[in-house]
């Protein structure tokens, strides 16, 4: 499976009301250290819940309207946001280990 396809598949596994960091997605997809590539994959991907992926420590990294849209979508799913940060201990998704 290509890197981007694997990353997008992991993003699709994040349930409503949960979030993951770019680094978590990279590691879970088998590409640890490739958080930046997750950003590229999300830009290229269609029909994935991109809004559930955040920067390190739960920070919303998108500027302007994209960041506002991300906050709105997350709040609609019940995710609480303080400032531009989500509490990962409460809303973070733990990816199951692959066999």
Query: With bands split at pLDDT 50, 70 and 90, how would you rate the model's confidence at 1?
Result: low
Tens of pLDDT, residues 61-83: 999 999 999 999 999 999 999 99
Residue 73 lies in a domain: yes
Tens of pLDDT, residues 16-44: 999 999 999 999 999 999 999 999 999 99
Residue 95 lies in a domain: no
Segments forming the whole domain that contains residue 71: 3-89
The tally of domains found in the chain comes to: 1
Instruction: Say which CATH number the domain at 18 has.
Output: 1.10.10.10
- Predicted confidence (pLDDT) at residue 84 exceeds the cutoff of 60: yes
Q: Where are the beta strands (DSSP E) in the chain?
A: 20-21, 53-54, 81-82, 85-86
């Amino acid at each position: 499976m290509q890197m981007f396809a694997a990353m997008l598949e992991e993003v699709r596994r994040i349930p409503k009301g949960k979030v993951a960091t770019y680094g978590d997605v990279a590691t879970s997809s088998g590409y640890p250290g490739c958080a930046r590539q997750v950003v590229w994959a999300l830009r290229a991907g269609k029909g994935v819940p991109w809004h559930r992926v955040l920067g390190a420590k739960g920070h919303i990294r998108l500027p302007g309207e994209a960041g506002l849209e991300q906050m709105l979508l997350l709040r609609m799913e019940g995710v609480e946001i303080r400032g531009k940060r989500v509490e990962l201990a409460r809303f973070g998704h733990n990816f199951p280990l692959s066999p």
